[in-house]
Amino acid sequence: MKRPVRLEPGQKLVLTANRLLDGRTVWWCADGAWDLHIGRAALLDADEAEAVLARVAGEAQRDGVVGVYDTAVQAAVPPEPVTVREKIRAHGPTVHPEFAVETEQ
């Protein structure tokens, strides 16, 4: 059973996973595609996210992703993850700017 999601004001949910081919972090877009950039991720309300997550998780292997889950973000442009873990997944390692994920939207 999935834990209930409590969103703070100004927060939404996005779906994230890892690409099977190379392990890269990907974000689910409203058109059903998976993208490397969080700026293209679909922003979802908690109720909406639950239904979409169930559907997307069932199609994960076919879509070439693994470990699909939702995570809270600040509903900005681009969305900004709330937790440190997700900030690192979205923007890259904290050790050197050379390894950062491009921030294009």
> Token pair for residue 102?
């491009």
Does residue 43 sit within a domain?
yes
* pLDDT grade for 11, boundaries at 50, 70 and 90: very high
Residues 6+ apart with CB under 8 A from 76: none
Does residue 6 sit within a domain?
no
- Predicted structure pTM score: 0.86
Does residue 41 sit within a domain?
yes
Tally of domains in the chain: 1
Alpha helices in the chain (DSSP H): 46-58, 60-63, 84-91
Q: Which domain holds residue 77?
A: 11-96
> Token pair for residue 99?
């390894």
The pLDDT of residue 16 is 97
Does residue 2 sit within a domain?
no
Closest CA to 42 of 24, 63, 56, 62: 56
Does residue 29 sit within a domain?
yes
* pLDDT grade for 103, boundaries at 50, 70 and 90: low
Instruction: Mean pLDDT check: name the lowest of 18-22, 43-47, 66-70, 100-104.
Output: 100-104
* pLDDT grade for 101, boundaries at 50, 70 and 90: confident
> Token pair for residue 49?
């996210």
Does residue 48 sit within a domain?
yes
Q: Omega into 93 within 30° of 0, i.e. cis? A: no
